[in-house]
């Protein structure tokens, strides 16, 4: 991002914008960390409380219903309290729930704390993209919007690395004790550290200029615009542009989303379906269950956590590819490439899993098919990360008109969490029925996602938020 910045934005301001964006994206880090940390703890929870696949699926997935609730209410809270104040609430929710998850009395107590963490995750999934889109200069908005997904995948990777380190310290068994707590409890409690950092940074970064204009604080909005777009930019013109776009608007409400197609505006349905397809390809099966999945085909606990970490590294690599390309080749081409790559990788994984042979409570794959399954899983994560992982969040932050952005983003993000819950709660039972069959289903949705983008998704590259409609 060095050099002369386009669109009136001076290059010396880009560093400041990057700092603001990165600080806001800590919410995405918490989102990724708290979502994926359960991966390493699943086996420990199951053994500690003596629960079966249905109960453990419920405990893992229940956080996602909390996330749907958090996403649903986040837009209204952000419009009422402001973006940064809402971030502070999210940080507090993460901190409290982290301590609660580390010290549960029962599996149902743990489920409650996971719901509370889920509310924070859902709120972070809305407030991060909205804030980043609103403080980013148009020429950099795609790359800066990608910071949310980069933070998410970093959170996932760090959670897997922390899980692996804790498991190794505990002698390779997550039910072994460390300083009076079992290893899996330390895994769930470690989220307290980034939660406190998020609370700190959310008190430092400026409020969104669009919120300040809506709150009738034009001088503060002018100051923030000068910070992020540079003194050489026509700040007064930008301020007037925002004022014009908001002048005839009132606070967005859910009823503003009503339209002729099944009760909603077409653009809202596109956001909902983008969110649903992002989850229906089964990406979070990898991040929530991969440790137990690899154990089920004969890999020990420590090595399964290390494999989970390797997929997280692939996730980061793919995210950097997306950041490099999203403002160059556009949103639609990346989505199409990703859908095609995911469909092939998932089909190959389904073939490999079809060779599984039951062995007690586990399934054993022949050595060749086991290797193919591992490679296919990594390829799938790569294509997801360089496309749907990043681009959906970028689109959700920028595709809606100003008058409905917060409300529409809340609905779309809520749909994403409901879809995530459906995939997460169903996987243990589907895997027990047919692991290959589950992956055939994810392949089907990857193919559908390609067709959906091809015929229904419009390009938003380079367009100002005020131009969306």
3-state SS track over 334-363:
HHHHHHHHHHHHHHHHHHHHCCCEEECCEE
Given a contact cutoff of 8 angstroms between Cβ atoms, the answer to whether 356 and 297 are in contact is yes
**What's the Rg (C-alpha) of the chain?**
22
pLDDT for 297: 59
**Distance of alpha carbon 258 from alpha carbon 269, whole angstroms:** 10
pLDDT tens digits for 380-402? 999 999 999 888 878 887 778 77
Given a contact cutoff of 8 angstroms between Cβ atoms, the answer to whether 415 and 330 are in contact is no
On the question of pLDDT at 462 being above 70, the answer is no
- How crowded is the C-beta side of 332, counted as CA atoms within 13 Å? 13
Mean pLDDT in residue range 200-216: 86
pLDDT for 231: 64
Q: Please report which helix (H) or strand (E) contains residue 379, including its range.
A: helix 367-385
Q: What's the pTM?
A: 0.71
Number of H helices, E strands in the chain: 19, 4
pLDDT tens digits for 30-42? 888 887 788 778 8
Q: What is the DSSP letter of 142?
A: H
pLDDT tens digits for 175-200? 888 888 999 999 999 989 999 999 99
Q: How confident is the model at residue 2 (pLDDT cuts 50, 70, 90)?
A: very low
Cα dist from 406 to 157, 231, 282, whole Å: 29, 29, 27
Its sign, for the CA torsion 411, 328, 346, 39, is negative
Whose CA is closest to 209, among 467, 466, 469?
Answer: 466
Its sign, for the CA torsion 276, 278, 281, 285, is negative
Mean pLDDT in residue range 438-462: 88
3-state SS track over 202-271:
HCCCCCCHHHHHHCCCHHHHHHHHHHHHCCCCCHHHHHHHHHHHHHCCCCCCHHHHCCCECCECHHHHHH
């Amino acid at each position: 991002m060095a050099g002369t910045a386009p669109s009136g934005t001076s290059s010396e301001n880009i560093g400041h914008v990057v700092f603001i964006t990165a600080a806001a994206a800590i919410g995405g880090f918490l989102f990724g960390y708290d979502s994926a940390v359960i991966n390493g703890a699943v086996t420990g929870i199951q053994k500690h409380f003596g629960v079966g696949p249905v109960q453990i699926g419920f405990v893992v997935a229940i956080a996602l219903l909390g996330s749907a609730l958090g996403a649903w209410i986040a837009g209204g809270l952000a419009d009422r309290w402001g973006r940064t104040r809402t971030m502070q609430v999210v940080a507090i929710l993460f901190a409290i729930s982290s301590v609660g998850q580390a010290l549960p009395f029962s599996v149902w107590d743990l489920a409650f704390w996971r719901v509370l963490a889920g509310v924070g995750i859902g709120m972070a999934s809305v407030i991060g993209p909205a804030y980043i889109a609103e403080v980013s200069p148009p020429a950099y908005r795609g790359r800066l919007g990608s910071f949310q997904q980069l933070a998410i995948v970093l959170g996932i990777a760090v959670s897997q690395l922390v899980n692996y380190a804790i498991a190794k310290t505990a002698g390779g068994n997550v039910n072994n004790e460390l300083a009076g707590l079992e290893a899996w409890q330390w895994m769930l409690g470690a989220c307290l550290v980034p939660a406190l950092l998020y609370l700190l940074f959310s008190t430092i970064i400026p409020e969104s200029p669009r919120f300040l204009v809506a709150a009738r604080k034009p001088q503060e909005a002018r100051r923030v615009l000068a910070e992020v777009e540079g003194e050489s930019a026509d700040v007064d013109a930008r301020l007037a542009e925002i004022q014009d776009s908001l002048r005839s608007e009132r606070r967005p409400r859910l009823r503003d989303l009503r339209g002729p197609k099944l009760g909603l505006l077409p653009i809202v349905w596109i956001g909902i379906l983008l969110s649903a397809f992002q989850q229906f390809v089964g990406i979070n099966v990898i991040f929530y269950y991969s440790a137990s999945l690899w154990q089920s085909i004969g890999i020990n606990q420590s090595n399964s956590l290390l494999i989970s970490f390797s997929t997280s590294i692939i996730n980061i690599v793919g995210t950097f590819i997306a950041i490099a390309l999203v403002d160059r080749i556009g949103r639609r081409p990346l989505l199409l490439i990703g859908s095609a790559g995911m469909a092939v990788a998932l089909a190959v994984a389904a073939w490999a899993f079809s060779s599984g042979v039951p062995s007690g409570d586990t399934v054993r794959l022949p050595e060749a098919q086991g290797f193919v399954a591992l490679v296919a899983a990594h390829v799938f994560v790569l294509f997801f990360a360089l496309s749907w992982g990043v681009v959906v969040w970028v689109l959700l932050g920028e595709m809606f008109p100003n008058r409905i952005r917060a409300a529409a983003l809340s609905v779309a993000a809520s749909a994403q969490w409901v879809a995530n819950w459906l995939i997460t709660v169903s996987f243990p039972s589907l895997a027990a029925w047919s692991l290959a069959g589950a992956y055939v289903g994810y392949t089907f949705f990857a193919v559908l996602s390609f067709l959906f983008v091809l015929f229904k998704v419009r390009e938003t590259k380079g367009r100002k938020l005020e131009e969306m409609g």
